Amino acid sequence: MDLGILVTIFDSALRLSIPLLAACLAGLWSERSGVVDIGLEGKMLVAAFAGAAGAYAFGSAWAGLLIGIIASVAIGLVHGFASISQRGNQIVSGVAINMLAAGLTAIVGNAWYGQGGRTPPLEGDQRFGSVLFGHSALVYVVLLAVPVTWFVLGHTRFGLRLRAVGENPAAVDTAGISVTRLRYTAVIIAGVLCGLAGAYLSVGQAAGFLPNMTAGRGFIALAALIFAKWRAWPALGACFLFGLLDASANQLQGLSLPGIGEVPVQAIQAMPYLMTVILLAGVIGKAIPPRASGVPYVKER
């Protein structure tokens, strides 16, 4: 394998890892505050549809991005209301959001455009073009979010309070700090990041929305988050690893192994999902989430 092929694989891996990284950081913000976010997949899907529809309607990729972020935050606030205000089961709420997003985007898309749930193809200014080294601006925005997340959560008063809410919300409440406000703030930040991920898929990477175009990326992002042990810089490496596996599929088509023969491309494409199952099953290490993650906080009277 020559240098040119390696450069192509790594370039493709970076592009494919960006939506995973944005969703992974979204999960990190949410779960650090004590709110489990199984609905990453649904928020990405809604943002992808809203982003493509907005870009097509207004003729601007940036308008599509803004609309995608707004849609993602709105869905995130529904999850926040169920999980924080109503103290509902966070897993059930996240699964419901995923199911709602899958059906709602297909139905609305078909009703609006009559193309089986797809949006019309995006062209010109309706898509994000390359700005540096063949990558769009969203790639660098998401990459910049990694050091910002690391710094804010680890070196600012707001970040330390947010992490404390995920570990011991009663102690934070005793100090006179609103647990509800901090958790809602984290949910909104997670919605913004999922909006970036979804809009990147439909307006940056592709040329429009396709039904279920997230293809399980939200769950892969959750696996990357567990593998990274809820830390920003390891999350970057974990997401790039998944992107590398995905990018390698195109280059490894027709690969022959001694004693086995030609490996089906479907087996190679399944590698990221297989690794997701392995990570979520806990085979690789013992990942311990924030202690209050997934536990509704009930203020003592």
Q: 203: closest CA among 133, 137, 106?
A: 137
Tokens at 38, concatenated: 């199984």
Mean pLDDT of 144-156: 95
Question: Is the model's pTM score more than 0.75?
Answer: yes
Residue 287 has pLDDT above 80, yes or no: no
Type of residue at 21: L
Mean pLDDT of 62-69: 95
| Rounded Cα distance, 174 and 14, in Å | 44
| Rounded Cα distance, 118 and 108, in Å | 10
Residues 6+ apart with CB under 8 A from 166: 31, 32, 33, 34, 290, 291, 292, 293
| Rounded Cα distance, 289 and 17, in Å | 23
The correct answer on CATH 3.10.50.40 for the domain covering 9-127+136-280 is: no
| Rounded Cα distance, 164 and 149, in Å | 16
CA distances from 135 to 13, 84, 152 (A): 12, 38, 26
| Rounded Cα distance, 70 and 276, in Å | 29
DSSP string of 55-79, one letter each residue: HHHHS-HHHHHHHHHHHHHHHHHHH
Mean pLDDT of 230-237: 91
Half-sphere exposure of 62 (CA within 13 A, CB side): 2
| Rounded Cα distance, 41 and 221, in Å | 9
Query: For the ranges 169-183, 243-257, 285-299, which has the lowest average pLDDT?
Result: 285-299
For the chain, the structural domain boundaries read 9-127+136-280
- How confident is the model at residue 295, as a pLDDT? 57
Burial class (CB in 10 A: 0-12, 13-18, 19+), 173: middle
Residue 150 has pLDDT above 90, yes or no: yes
Mean pLDDT of the chain: 86
Task: Using alpha carbons only, give the angle 22, 14, 49 rounded to the nearest 5 degrees.
Answer: 45
- How confident is the model at residue 301, as a pLDDT? 45
| Rounded Cα distance, 39 and 249, in Å | 27
Q: pLDDT tens, 73-108?
A: 999 999 999 999 888 889 999 999 999 999 999 999
- How confident is the model at residue 291, as a pLDDT? 60
Tokens at 204, concatenated: 């940056």
Residues 6+ apart with CB under 8 A from 245: 271, 272, 275
Residue 250 pLDDT class (50, 70, 90 cuts) = low
Residue 46 has pLDDT above 60, yes or no: yes
